[in-house]
Structure 1
Amino acid sequence: MVAIIKTGHFLHNIFNYNENKVKQEVALCIGEGNYPIDADKMSLTMKLNRLLKQTALNDKVKRNSVHISLNFDPSENHSKEKLMDIANTYMNKIGFGNQPYLVYEHYDSGHPHLHIVSIKIRADGSRIDMQNIGRNQSETARKQIEDSFGLVKAQGHKNNEVTKLRPIVSAKIKYGQSESKRAINNVLEEVLSTYKYSSLAQLNAILQQYRVFADRGSENSRLFKTKGLVYRILDEKGNPIGVPIKASLFYNKPTLKFLEEKFVANTTVKISDRNKIKNAIDKALLRTKISMTELITVLEKEGINTVFRENAEGLLYGITYVDHATKCVFNGSTLGKEYSAKAIQQRCLSSEKAEPMQISNVEKTDQTISQTTNPISAKIPFNGATENSKTVASNTNTGQLLEQLTQFEQNPNYIPNQLKGKRKKKKRKGQSDNQ
C-alpha cells in the first residue's frame, strides 16, 4: 500500500472533485467517519456542511483541508468492507480517528485506490500539526496495516506499479473532454505538488515526459493576452491531439496565476539537489569518449531526463535537466557555464561519421508544442568539425598538456634558501656599530 497526503486551501474543490467522480460513475462514496448518518443516506449538502462547520471553528488556519489517497497493488481486489476497515485503521493511526471524513473508492486508474476527504481542525477548534506526518505517522501506519491486512508491501516491491507515473497512452484515449481531462488530471495531480519548477518552460519539461503540455498559445492569441492557459495531450511524436482543456476546469485550478505562485515558492532549491545532477554529468563525461546520445542514456539510468531547446534553424541553444529522484528541474546555465547547452555540446564528441545525431527530448522554438517523447533527428552544430579533426585537436591538446606538466619550470641558477650562506647585513649610512 502507498499512502499520499496532501493539504489544501479549498475544501470545496477537494469535495467536488470526488463527488464529480461519483457523477461520472468512476467512483463511489463507500463510507464516512464521525458523521451522525451513514454516507449513503446523506445529501451532498449534509456531507459538505459537516466539514465546513468544523473548519469554521478556526479561521486562522488557511490550509485546512486534507486529501489522502491509499493506493493498492493492481493484483489486489478487496471488498468495500475491508477497504473501510483499512481506511478507519489508517485514520486512527495517523491521529485523525476523531475527525469527520468521507471515503471514496475510485475506479479510474489501473490500480485500486481510495480517496479520503477530511479537515485539520479539531472539534475544540485546535489545529492538527501535520509536520512530517507522511514520514512519521503515515509510514508507520502503512507498514502495520500491510502486515495486519495481508496487503502487498510497497517497500521493496519489485514492480511498484502504484507509485510509478506513466506517460499517457494516446491510443487508449477517447477524445471526448471527460476522457482527456481524466488522463491529464492524473498527471497534474502528481507533478504539480511534488516537482520543484520555477517557470512554465521547466514545468513543461516535466509534463512532456508524460505527454502533457501546458499551452499559453501564441503571443498574438487571445488566450495569451488574457493570461489564459490550456492543457493538451501529446502523441508519441510530440504533436497535440484531442481537445485542449482550460486550466480552470480542473479541480485544483492549475491556472497561470496558480502556477506563478508555485514558481516563486520553488525558487529555493537545496544545493545538494543541484550537485546531484552536476555530479552525474561530470561522472558520465569522465569517459574517454561519449556522444550526446550516450550522455542522455547514462543520465536516464540515474533518473535524469534531458530536454533540449532548438531555435527555428535547428540550432541547439538550451538544455533542461529533470531529476525524477529529487523532483527538481534545472536549466543548464543555472547549474553553471560548464553545464549549459553550448558547453555540454563541446564536452561531448560528435558521432564517428559526423552525421546528424539522434537526440530525444528536443524542444523547438518555432513550434507551439515541444517534441519530447520519441527520439527525433536534430542537427547539433560542431562548427564543421568531424570526429577526426576533433581527435587531432584532442591529441594536440593532450601533448601540450603533458609538455607543460613535465617541463622543468625552475630557474637553473635557483638555489634553495636553506643552502645559501648567511647574507651579511648591509649597514646603513650613518649607523654606528655599537647601536
Structure 2
Amino acid sequence: MDYQKGDVKQQVSSTVRSCLRYYRCASFGEWRTLLEAFNVSAEERTGTIDGRDYAGMIYGALTDDGYGIGTPFKSSRIGKDVGYEALQRYYERSKTALKEPGVLDELWEKIADGMARCSNRTEFCERLHDKGVDAVFRFNAAGRIYGVTFIDHEQGIVANGSLLGRNFSANVFEQQFHAEEKGGRVFQESSGQTQFSSKESFRSGQSFHPLDAVLELADVQAYEVEQQRIRRRKRRHLI
C-alpha cells in the first residue's frame, strides 16, 4: 500500500482481499497486525444507536512509520466480503484450519530455533525474517512485552505466541530478552502502539504461571483504551 500512488481505495481493497485469500488469522488482533505489515489500517466499530446494535469495519492507509494518512473509509465501500460479519466467518474458518494436526509445526520449529540461537530481539527477528517469518512485539507503557504475533509469509499463517504454546508466551520473551530491554530498546511506532518487529528488515521450555495470562490480559485492555484515545486524537488532527 503506497498512499502517494493514489487510488487508495483500490490499493486497500486489493491488499485486504489478497490477505484474506492467502493468510489465516484467527482473531481481529491478528488480522490488524497482518494488514499493518502492508501499510493498511483496520478498525472494528461496534456499539448501539437508538437501541439497535451495529458492527462494522473501517479501513485506511498507513505510512511506512505506521501513522494513519488520508481519510479512513467504511468496508461497505469495498464490499461485504471484507466487512465485519464476513470477517467473523473468516476467523472461524482460520481457527479450524490452524487446529489441524501439524499445521503449526513448521512455524513452531522456526521460532524455537531462533529462541535457542539468539540473545536479543533484533537478532531473533532477523533470523526469523530469513526463514520467511516476521515477528511483531507489543509493549505496554512500562516497556514490558505483553504480546507477540508471528506472520509466516511462506505458509500464510498469522499466529499470536499464545496460540503456539506456553513456551512462546509474552512472559517467556520478556524474560529471555530482559537484558536487552535494560540496555536499550528498539521501538517502532505503529498506529499509536509501541512495537518492534522484523518489518524493518524486510523493508530493511520456560515455566508458565496462570498469573502471566492475567497480567497479559490487563496489559491488552489498557492498550486498547489507549489505542482508542490516540485514534480519536489522530482523527481530530486529520480533520
Please name the residue that 2:153 is paired with: 324
* Aligned with 1:283 (options 107, 113, 119): 113
- Superposed CA RMSD: 2.8
* Aligned with 1:231 (options 59, 70, 73): 59
Taking the TM superposition and a 5 Å limit, the aligned residue runs for 1:132-281 are 168-173=1-6, 179-217=7-45, 226-251=54-79, 253-268=81-96, 269=98, 270-281=100-111
Measured at CA, do residues 354 and 370 of structure 1 come closer, stay the same or move farther in structure 2, by a change above 3 Å?
A: closer
User: TM-score, normalized by length of structure 1?
Assistant: 0.41
Counterpart CA distance in 2 for 1:301 and 1:370 is 20
Measured at CA, do residues 248 and 220 of structure 1 come closer, stay the same or move farther in structure 2, by a change above 3 Å?
A: closer
Counterpart CA distance in 2 for 1:207 and 1:256 is 15
Contact 2:139 2:195 in 1 (8 A): no
SS at match of 1:358: coil
Please name the residue that 2:233 is paired with: none
Measured at CA, do residues 312 and 348 of structure 1 come closer, stay the same or move farther in structure 2, by a change above 3 Å?
A: closer
Counterpart CA distance in 2 for 1:312 and 1:228 is 29
Please name the residue that 2:123 is paired with: 294
SS at match of 2:148: strand
Counting helix residues as a fraction of each chain, which structure ranks higher?
Answer: 2
Amino acid at match of 2:2: V
Structure 1: gaps of 5 or more residues: 1-167, 174-178, 376-435
CA shift digits 1:102-156 (9 cap, x unpaired): xxxxxxxxxxxxxxxxxxxxxxxxxxxxxxxxxxxxxxxxxxxxxxxxxxxxxxx
Measured at CA, do residues 272 and 212 of structure 1 come closer, stay the same or move farther in structure 2, by a change above 3 Å?
A: same
Aligned residue pairs total: 195
SS at match of 2:110: helix
Deviation at 1:370, TM superposition (A): 7.7
Please name the residue that 1:18 is paired with: none
Taking the TM superposition and a 5 Å limit, the aligned residue runs for 1:9-28 are none
Deviation at 1:369, TM superposition (A): 10
CA shift digits 1:396-421 (9 cap, x unpaired): xxxxxxxxxxxxxxxxxxxxxxxxxx
Contact 1:232 1:245 in 2 (8 A): yes
Measured at CA, do residues 248 and 278 of structure 1 come closer, stay the same or move farther in structure 2, by a change above 3 Å?
A: same
Contact 2:145 2:173 in 1 (8 A): no
Contact 2:138 2:193 in 1 (8 A): no
Deviation at 1:310, TM superposition (A): 2.5
Measured at CA, do residues 358 and 368 of structure 1 come closer, stay the same or move farther in structure 2, by a change above 3 Å?
A: closer
Contact 1:292 1:359 in 2 (8 A): no
Counterpart CA distance in 2 for 1:309 and 1:172 is 30
Amino acid at match of 1:302: K
Counterpart CA distance in 1 for 2:123 and 2:24 is 26
Deviation at 1:349, TM superposition (A): 6.1
Contact 1:196 1:328 in 2 (8 A): yes
Counterpart CA distance in 2 for 1:370 and 1:246 is 26
Counterpart CA distance in 2 for 1:282 and 1:339 is 8
Deviation at 1:355, TM superposition (A): 2.5
Contact 2:139 2:145 in 1 (8 A): yes
Moved segments of 4+, more than 6 Å: 219-222, 368-372
Structure 2: gaps of 5 or more residues: 202-239
Counterpart CA distance in 2 for 1:348 and 1:370 is 14
Counterpart CA distance in 2 for 1:242 and 1:220 is 25
User: TM-score, normalized by length of structure 2?
Assistant: 0.71
Highest relative contact order (Cα 8 Å, sep 6+), 1 or 2? 2
Which range moves more in the overlay, 182-191 or 247-256? 247-256
Measured at CA, do residues 369 and 256 of structure 1 come closer, stay the same or move farther in structure 2, by a change above 3 Å?
A: farther
Counterpart CA distance in 1 for 2:194 and 2:83 is 18
SS at match of 2:55: coil
Amino acid at match of 2:170: A
Deviation at 1:172, TM superposition (A): 2.8
Please name the residue that 1:306 is paired with: 135
Q: Does 1:337 align with 2:166?
A: yes
SS at match of 1:266: helix
Counterpart CA distance in 1 for 2:142 and 2:178 is 22
Amino acid at match of 1:328: I
Counting strand residues as a fraction of each chain, which structure ranks higher?
Answer: 2
SS at match of 1:267: helix
Contact 1:230 1:245 in 2 (8 A): yes
